[in-house]
Amino acid sequence: MKFENLPKVELHCHLDGCLRVDTVLDIIEKEKIAVDSKEYEEMKKILVVPDDCPSLDEYLKRFDLPVKLMQSRENLKRIAYELIEDVSKENVKYIEIRFAPLFHKEKGMKVPEIIESVIDGLKEGERDFGVKSNLILSLLRHMPVDSVYEVIEGGREFIGKGVVALDLAGGEVEGFAKAFEEPFKLGRKYGYRVTIHAGETGFSRNVKDAIELLGAERIGHAVAIEKDKEVYELVRKKNVTLEMCPKSNVQTKAVKEYEIHPIKKFLDDNLNVNLSTDNRTVSNITLTEECNKIDEIHSLSKEDFKKIYLNSVEGAFCDRDTKEWLLKEIL
Ligand SMILES: [Zn+2]
């Protein structure tokens, strides 16, 4: 199967994991940022995890430099715009991009300004490349719970105007959801939709909590539910969309190897599987490459591909018109 030109919908993609190496080098040059090396290949090593990435910690280190460079309106806009251009090359029609506004305050920007800068880049990208998009605001579960209100309040004016949802990201510990019940209740009241990173590092009960305590309609990763019958059935019953990112899971050691990744099993079992990249630069991956890899290991038929596309449209947080437009693309 040739997947490159087929229409695609991506639901789980972190802005700070998708910077172009050339752009990083350019910003470093312009802003005179001190780095060990300005060589392209050396910079690539700082931004991309090695194939034999030893741990999640090693994976997370790849975000340090990108975040440092994403501290101005201009850079945020540029990086968002370039991501839209990049995904347009493999015929992504619609993408939901997530990022954590609290990471971008180092030079004094306020949350609304940070969000607006990214939306500006996305809108300009849509004008130039025809890719529609929305933003998901990631809250950070390793920060004090109270810190999330700044994002929930600061993003409120953009709901339906470029922002669609809240996410909870960062290292996963067992039972994290309980502490965030109140802020997510408020967020849902304001009109945010909800997706949560859960069940990535072995805690299937976190998926149940995310759905029942936080109102998650989608779950990022969720690989741990494979071995938990009760949670598996809950996901099915509630029609929860699973944003699955196999290469990232293998790199962070959430799944030992590609061969045993449950994505094809979930798909064959008619769970609402979406396929995403997580981080295009850090994981050195495109959606086309993910399709090829699954095809190589499990075989991915045109029907499977179509199923993923339809699941993705159904699970997307965009408006009805956008969904209808997306449905026409696959028929
Ligand atoms: Zn993620």
Q: What is the pLDDT of residue 301?
A: 94
pLDDT, position 53: 86
* Cα of 32 from ligand 1 centre, angstroms: 30
Contacts of residue 51, defined as CB under 8 A and 6 or more positions apart, other chains included, come to none
Question: What does the pLDDT look like over 263-287, one tens digit per residue?
Answer: 999 999 999 999 999 999 999 999 9
Radius of gyration of the chain (CA): 18
pTM over the 0.85 mark: yes
Instruction: Work out the average pLDDT over 238-251.
Output: 96
Q: Would you say residue 299 has pLDDT above 80?
A: yes
12 carries a ligand binding annotation: yes
Instruction: List the structure tokens of 315.
Output: 């699970």
Q: Count CB-CB contacts under 10 A for residue 86.
A: 18
According to the model, what pLDDT value does residue 155 have?
A: 98
pLDDT tens digits, 74-116: 999 999 999 999 999 999 999 999 999 999 999 999 999 999 9
Choosing from 116, 200, 217, 243, the catalytic residue is: 200
Residue type, 281: T
For the cut 90, the answer to whether the pLDDT of residue 51 exceeds it is no
Residue 56 pLDDT > 80: no
Average pLDDT taken over every residue of the chain? 96
pLDDT tens figures, 72-83: 999 999 999 999
For the segment 35-63, the average pLDDT, to the nearest whole number, is 90
- Residues forming a β-bridge with 169: 140
DSSP string for 132-165: EEEEEEEEETTS-GGGHHHHHHHTGGGBTTTEEE
The pLDDT of residue 15 is 98
Q: Is 215 known to sit in a ligand binding site?
A: no
Number of C-beta neighbours around residue 253 at 10 A: 15
Give residue 213's pLDDT band: very low, low, confident or very high (50, 70, 90): very high
pLDDT band at 294; cut points 50, 70, 90: very high
Is 220 flagged in the annotation as binding? no
Whether 96 sits among the annotated catalytic residues: the reply is: no
Work out the pLDDT band at 304, boundaries 50, 70, 90. Answer: very high
Ligand 1 centroid to Cα of residue 232, in Å, is 20
Least confident of 10-14, 47-51, 158-162, 322-326: 47-51
